[in-house]
Chain A
């Protein structure tokens, strides 16, 4: 806990294709992450050229960004899963320090049990 009442935690940002979002979501759930924010149709420029964001009649293609705050003890599992995933799939991942005011909000109530 630091002086202004904030608690340091880890922030994960992942940009993957919309079709790969279920994998990331399942990994986060399985490792005990309690929530995340999805930003569909992210636009930008990268190895595959420019992306303009959402397509009019195709929800399953295009970059999507997921942002999550990771509680203690789940980072290794999430990192291992994402690293392995990026061996065969396109995308980027950023890990950074962040601060939250309600640390308990990001803690899993019980350890994840589902596969």
Chain B
């Protein structure tokens, strides 16, 4: 990491030097440096190369600084830094080299550095495919460039670039044209222009900063070459004309691709190709200086967009507070006229009166592009739908006109200064050719507008759709013939109903996954919670692959670090020992000791003689070994079986194609040319008639075969399964295997189905699509060389490793026994066959049980001390309730509240409580004048009430100002978005915006806090903060709660948290939220109980209800007397920076001002201490900082757009404690426990406990399981590393350019770093343990009447412990409603344990009603 930091500062310094150099060469002329007097390595800094260097070093420095933070904790950062340095210094060399060979060396260095960066994070062969594809194209380009440069040197007799302008004239026309063609071809490839446009989207496989780095002179290579070697291009008009045509064609195709790409990096890459097309047109029209102006502006612009590619979800979430627009209105004539005439008039005025025309008739193209941009900006800026006042709209017109004037003047000045340096001398093309080309370009521009307009309303001309389809097809894929025997048999109602039910049964393999905008933690195996945890995880792993427990090596590391205690390990072995095959009697060792030794002994070397003895012993058993260690295989699809038998990759091809179709069909919010509407299967059938996303699906007959399928998805599924000879009793298994091919997309579809029913998309639709593709492209019939593919034969593949592999496994088992010291070579050799087989069975049993034993030991190492501590405290504090604190503070149960509660209690006389963060007030909240609302409750609930935020008394004028400001923001945002997306507008926009964005990007990267403050100050100025109220009381238009409802909610909240007496004068109710930048997973840090939203509005709502005199009066009637002196004060805990903001402070009565002031002091003390503690847990944070410095650091992290670990979220969560604070107060739980306040004395019937267990605890279990699975396999159940994320629509992320959606948490949310030893987890994957302080009978009764709880506790998804006040022993829930003492089976002395010990469980008590 230090390497990257040094590189960043070096590049910053160099960029600053170059800026100074720029001024020097502008004044004093070019500077040439000849190291050691050699011309071959001479470097020249002229105005053009200095300008290029500003881009290269500027973007390079930003990328290096950004990478320093984004890549923290990534493996092989040194290699990355080397690649980055190679690219930057290679480009630096290329643009300053005077000798052509040196130019090429720099150019090639940049190429291979880039290729190394694209493949940097990928170690497997398949994952490196994009890097190889990029390498193939770029290497071809480099070779062509080499050919061009050699030809040039031979033809001119010089390798000195500075002499080209004089010597080129001596070369014959055809010869120089051929050389220019080679150079142009190299540039076309480098700039991803047609037909080389496909390599650029593949770079999405690289970390995000690399995509930004591409724009520092790599992808804009065509422009760089033209600037460096302009005399050659200028001497070849034919090549220039060809470049214009290639540029125009690239714009057309790339614009269309950008309009249909659902992934942000793919869309940006397509947009870059289009921009490069524009730059090439500038070159072709004889304006290399204009091209240089463009490549610099666009380079900064696009680098910024790539670095901020994760901010789409932040923007989406913030747009929920944007004001509503009026209904769209028809474009008025005045609006159209103003939009068109103002920019035209400005350009004509500036061009004719201030600056001379730039390039004769070619100027028209540039001016047309500028006018188009300004027209779109104005057209949107004066859109009446935004309801901005007339003055603002007029100001927008004037502002755009001013910017346009500045832009034209700047371009003109730039060109005047650079043209002589580059060597351009006016017209390079004959006037007639120029006229034709310009007319063509203007015509194409108009055509583009018409096509775009039609396509946005779903009426794109067929030829355009086909062109896009062809251009979208990714590389690779074998073209196959569609079988002619398409399935056509009629399907009966019974068959289609069976298909539907089979899909429902198969759907248990995937669970709904919420989109990122409302990221809700959920169990990826939620559908399997009806099964025991071990069975469910094995079943999931069988279908989906991936690890469901940490690796043995990882557990051994934890054992070595004493995070897993020896006692816990032995106890876990004891729990499982009776399920293991009993081995032969072995000398001097016990079964438990042997098992432990086998588990803890690392894979160190085994003496050669032992290896030989083990191998000989196994070989002596012959083929019996295979039967001994046979595994039942996983269900394979037909395509999978074909792949196995024929060596094809059909399974991956099908998955990629279906994923691409789904991305397009389901992410249409972000797709400009939207897909057809209707149910998913029907939409796909329509789409597939025109858009093929894979070459294999362009097979003749594919579309026709799809069209011949039944329109109903249930009938299609039944038909396709039957036609593939899948037996009806295997349908559900086969469908589960199908869903397991794309679990991410299947989970998203399951969510859509959950939210919208059958209207949008169902798993049945997905199954129909997947099976259609599989049935139609997989060669029909059994493969000749397959023994078990006899059509309807068992789908369960025999995945026995085969004899050689099984032998190795058996040998490894024996070696493991030997390593533990239980056997030597002699005793191994002396074992007879029966003993050997028994020993192997035992060793295999240990191997299979290892994950479960280790997990049990890991969990016990955390749980046992905690349970002992809590039980001790429960005994020591016989249910005392504290009385008389100055302040009571209610926090969300979120684990991040625990440290804050501890600090706050230490800061003063404060009693804290925990409660689900929606505070029992579920509603849809609409912010002040916002367009839409958010559901502020757990997703388990459907809110039935709405609450609006309205301006407080005396603040209507301020609210009006804020609303106007918000509309102005929206106006600006909508205008710039329109300019980026409209077909003719983005070129001048990118060019101009880049120059403006460059300093902002620099500030944002170098000083995140400075940038954040600047932005906040600007926002506060434009949109001042307003004091508001909520519409809590019922209104005529259906908002708010009735008095009865308020009473119900208030009573439910107070009784459930056990706050029914001894109220303090001040009761703070604190929701929580987070603030992070450029973070698609922002919602994962917000309040889970509020549906992934910040919870401040819920705190405000409950406080308002509880401060109501009416509500208090009615509460008194039900036995809850809130004193008049008590005031409820809402607040928000910012979990990223550990601040607590008091809300609605303006409503606090004067009698409580002093209390509030004292609370503020205590909160400040608490949050300062917390920051100091927090930075010790954050990677790359100063470890010995003062509280103030710690505070600055956490603020910097929160504001940093490159930061992937702004906070740890809920990492570490492992316990859910329900009880009085007295059992946890003062105990450092390390932010690992959800704390829910509960007083069993006030809950006779267990109603409050039932609420806590069936709602907050269920949410906590979702969170816990998501963290668990995202930790044990971050790439499979988690979403992998953030640095590779590619946002798709508003839904989720891809890892790289294509493939399945990646559900779950990112690696950086659960792990500190990855290095040669593997993943170093911050979150220890432990299943949730729920501890309840209540009578056992009451808990048992609640569990017995709730099947959801029986499943969670009985199937060991959650462990339940009860601290019964009547007994001293904590009791543990067992399957079937049985209980046993928690510590009954704990090994107190591992040495004393032997097989002779009675291993039966201690007496089991059964309480209450059971199944």
A residues apposed to B, CB below 8 Å: 17, 20, 22-23, 25-27, 29-31, 47-52, 55-61, 73-74, 76-85, 87-90, 112-115
Contacts and interface: CB of A to CB of B under 8 A. Distances in A.
Q: Which of A31, A76, A84, A112 has the most CB of B within 10 A?
A: A84
B1160 interface: no
B1273 interface: no
Contact of A48 (B764, B916, B1411): B1411
A70 to B, nearest CB: 12
B682 interface: yes
A115 B497 contact: no
B493 interface: yes
Contacts of A22: 753-754, 757
A113 B942 CA distance: 30
B1409 A55 contact: no
B712 interface: yes
B501 A85 contact: yes
Contacts of A84: 497-498, 501-502, 505
B712 A113 contact: yes
Contacts of B500: 23, 26-27, 30, 81
B713 interface: yes
Interface of B: 492-498, 500-502, 504-505, 508, 530, 679, 681-682, 711-716, 732, 753-754, 757-758, 762, 764-765, 768, 916, 920, 922, 937-938, 940-942, 1052, 1247, 1250-1251, 1254-1255, 1258, 1344-1348, 1350, 1409-1411
A113 B497 CA distance: 14
A29 B758 contact: yes
A22 B711 CA distance: 21
A102 B1346 CA distance: 40
A61 B757 CA distance: 17
B711 A55 contact: no
Contact of B1251 (A29, A30, A56): A56
A112 B714 CA distance: 12
Q: Is the interface of B mostly helix, strand, loop or mixed?
A: helix
A31 B496 CA distance: 9
A80 B1410 CA distance: 32
Contacts of A73: 493
Contacts of B922: 57
A30 B501 contact: no
Nearest to B1256: A57
Contacts of B1348: 58, 61
Contact of B505 (A25, A31, A48, A87): A87
A105 to B, nearest CB: 22
Given A26-B757, A114-B679, A115-B762, A49 B941 contact: no
A50 B498 contact: no
Given A56-B1255, A59-B942, A27 B497 contact: yes
Given A59-B942, A78-B497, A30 B502 contact: no
B1254 A55 contact: yes
A48 B765 contact: no
Contacts of A23: 500-501, 504
B649 to A, nearest CB: 30
A23 B501 CA distance: 8
A74 B715 CA distance: 15
A114 B1409 contact: no
A49 B1347 contact: yes
Nearest to A87: B505
Given A57-B1254, A85-B501, 18 more contacts: A47-B1411, A49-B1350, A55-B1255, A57-B1251, A58-B938, A58-B1258, A58-B1348, A59-B942, A60-B940, A61-B940, A61-B1346, A77-B493, A85-B504, A113-B711, A115-B679, A115-B711, A115-B712, A115-B714
B922 to A, nearest CB: 7
Contacts of B1344: 49-50
A115 B1411 contact: no
B505 A49 contact: no
Contact of A88 (B508, B765, B1350): B508
Nearest to B711: A113
Nearest to B920: A57
B505 A88 contact: yes
Contact of A26 (B716, B762, B768, B1347): B762
Question: Which 10 pairs between the two chains have the least Cβ-Cβ distance?
Answer: A115-B713, A84-B501, A77-B493, A81-B497, A57-B1255, A48-B1347, A80-B494, A77-B497, A88-B505, A80-B497
Contacts of A76: 492-494, 497
A28 to B, nearest CB: 10
A64 to B, nearest CB: 13
Contacts of A58: 938, 940-941, 1254-1255, 1258, 1348
Nearest to A53: B1345
Contacts of A82: 501
B496 A77 contact: yes
Nearest to A60: B940
A49 B1410 contact: yes
29 contacts: A20-B504, A22-B757, A23-B500, A26-B757, A26-B762, A29-B758, A30-B496, A30-B712, A48-B1350, A50-B1409, A55-B1254, A56-B1254, A58-B938, A58-B940, A58-B941, A58-B1348, A59-B940, A59-B942, A80-B497, A83-B501, A84-B498, A84-B501, A85-B501, A88-B505, A88-B508, A90-B530, A115-B711, A115-B713, A115-B716
Contacts of B757: 22, 25-26
Contacts of A49: 1344-1345, 1347, 1350, 1409-1411
B1052 to A, nearest CB: 7
